[in-house]
Structure 1
Amino acid sequence: MKLQQRLIRLSVGVLLLGLILHVALLLGYEQLTYRDRALQDLRGRAQILALNSAAALAFNDTRAATENLQTLRTAPAVVLGCLYAEEATLLAHYSPSGARCPKRPQPAQGAGSIRHVESVMVQDQSVGQLLLEERLPTLAERLPRYGLLLLSVIAAEAVLILVLVVALRRRVLIPVHDLAELAARVTERRDYSQRVSTHGSDEIAALGMAVNRMLCAIEEREAAIKENAHLLQALIDHAPAAITMKTMDGRYLLANQQFAEQLGVSTEAVIGLQDIDLFPTPIAQARDQADRAAAQAEGSLRVEEQLGERVWLSERFPLRNAASEIYAVSAIATDITEQRATQASLAQALANLTQLNETLEARVAQRTFELKQAMDQLVQSEKLAALGSLVAGIAHELNTPVGMVVTTSSTMSERARELKAMVEGGSISRSKLTEFLEDLGAGMSLIENNSLRAGRLINDFKQVAVDQTSMRRRQFDLGALIDDTLHALVPLFKHSGQRIESSIGPQIACDSYPGAIEQIVTNLIQNALLHGLAGRKDGLIELGAHVSHGTVQLTLRDDGKGIETQYLPHIFDPFFTTQLGAGGSGLGLYICHNLARGILGGKIEASNHPLGGATFVLTFPAVAPQRASDAS
């Protein structure tokens, strides 16, 4: 049975005994005390609702605050409920009649209503205010509701009165008193782990369970807040930068471990101090001026500071509250001492690179001159007249290493200028420097390898014949040779999106001419880029090899558009190209064919792969046949 039903039955039984004799007295008493009692009830309701709304105000949770105010639906007399945050900012409101909340919460009493304002406290600090307004019913409206009370007042039997008092005390007053004491303990001790004991299923028990749920929610949120604060502090303390926060009068609100270590103190010792307490006067004044400038700036302010032997680059910015008022200035400082120390070495490296570029241009010009002389002699020789097409092919092939040298040197110059700009801007990092040095090493290797390759082409050109080319013969591992060749070409693919993958293992030993194999692989890769993978940024070139009965089969496949069927019989013919005027001369595959047959003693074939793309297969003996030039 509900509490309201028990109270009504008990009150009606007592009221009927003295209704006629005491009605006048009770009416007078009602008129004199109802307003005070209603105000006291409203105050109690406001206290409970304020306690329940503390968490919503602390987290500025409008949804939770609105749900809390909706509990006022159980009190039809309450016509208005308003929850204000700091500085009278309205967070949530409740009004079944559509009434509006006043701009500022103020208590008031009218002829037909009462208004009470209750402060919402969190850890002994006011975080907002709760305004409740209750309509006072007229005497005629109140009489039916207080019928049981009238009967109890005029009851003649002391036993019945005692029973009523005991029942009220046991079922209403004691639970409410327990709730009040619990609220006081929670407010005083901030111990949200306490719970109220509940019995039965009436409204008082429901209120107790609601309070318990509220305390449980507050306890969980308090734990989450503490955990988040701990995690945030841990992140700040482990950050590589020095992080601080100061009030507008220069006192430290926050300092992380990195900042404290630079001063040789603990983070707790810094809180509340000013720069004048931690630094020499000139440095303290400079830091104070930087903070004031950051507070006046629209965005962040970058300042370079010298603290002892270390150089710091700090980013200062103002912090604003909900009202857009600046209440603090934060700074994140990064140690750039090592970056400044590397500027001299980077400048020297840039100078060396510039000198290398100048020397390289002279070397390229000299090699080009030598090639022209050799070409003129070859054309004029009647015995080598049939090699005219090969001359053009060799000239074309010389453009490849020379072009690589020029392109690589230009790229390294551009990278050097970018690095210099990062150094001057203070944005250089160890990873960027490491990446530059790795690129510099790779670029120098590419320049050296291709310069040597150009020299070999020129020297070979002087002794070349259609069926005979003088190259150095030696023993080598095919997998290592291919890896070296691909490594030299890495800068060409680094930013293009194309990929080269080799599955050749280290178990294929050869006694042949590695220069010819390198030239064939390079030409095939360039051919795949120019024709098969043109216009794509995610192409794949795969290399594989196997040996059987002394014969090596080297396969190169791309996943491009393949070769049209009508072109397959002619792709190894001299000057045959589908890209004339767009970078193709028609000699690359012709040279591959001559090297495969004339130098390696093998053959090269082309086909289209069933899954798409072109496939080239170079077949040659692991031990190359003896040539006349081998003896010499």
Structure 2
Amino acid sequence: MISGIAHELNNPLAVIKGYVELILCRDELGKQTRADLEKVAHESNRAAKLVSNFLSFAREQPRHREAVDFNELVRRVAELRKLDLQKARVELRLDLHPQLPATQGDPDQIQQVLVNLLNNALQALVEAPRPGRLHVSTQCKENLIQILVEDNGPGVPSEVLPYIFEPFFTTKEVGQGTGLGLSIAHSILADHHGRIFYQPATLGGACFVLELPMVSPNTGTQPSAPTAPLPALTDTPQTQSAQILILDDEKSIAELLGEMLGLLGYSTVLCHSALDALALVERHEFDLIVSDFRMPKMNGQEFYQQAVQKKPELTRRIIFLTGDVVNEETQAFLQSTGNPHISKPFQLALVEQTVARVLQQNAVAQ
């Protein structure tokens, strides 16, 4: 079930990320439009990481950790919520410790917690006297880093305080909240060997405190390498003649890949059914196939086995797309073929590099 949920989430994320990256390749974009799209790209990347984190949490796999600047995280969240704060006429004040040390953590998970807390505060301030006031601060306390989010709203009634971190507990009306935000925050902080707790705010409303231990950035998992910028779309030696079959039951993903590879100069054929793709394989010669793995009626493994039976030369010419790489059966099959696979949501640069590499390897092998 978990891998199925990931598949359903990663497919639309792949389309959003992909088209944003394609648009960012255009030279005629205005400065503000480009800046806005870069924010969309950043948030879609964060959403993708959250799905990955959920899968890792469910499978109890090692967590991702890197050096985190919590002041920068607070600034980023404030910028993301800037328009909503202005619309709600809420005054936001940041009070950030000037020498706050970096510590180990997962920046996307902590950002998720901060976004949830700001959302809760905004909803609470709807009933507060105007102007609403929101104060986010960072501080050091012994060997701990604290992030405080407080507002001048109505606060949390004492009778519900014992339950606020329980899953699905909410005081909001039906349809206004899931009751999972604080429960998820509690789990994330516990996973970081920290905690989240409530205290009355100096502003008169609610105050939630995130508390994390200071861990040297040189300890444990090293910071991950920054994401490389998407390179300009350029021709490769194989683009003049390569014929590529794109198989994905999600029409939008097939069209995205077709557009991207078409811009690179490749000739593409789009197909949304594995059975139809097998018929095409029998009638035509393809230099490469990019195939989704999870499909109805016939999955990627079955398609691969039948395709290479019909055309053995395709054995090393099939690239798989998958939205549930944590699935053990999927992993075992991919390893047995030795063929590359690309996880959804993908970077278009990775697709470009993988396609070029496979074409080059097979050209050399001929």
The normalised TM-score by structure 1 is 0.29
Judging by fraction of residues, say which structure has more helix.
1
**Greater relative contact order (Cα < 8 A, sep 6+):** 2
Bigger radius of gyration among the two: 1
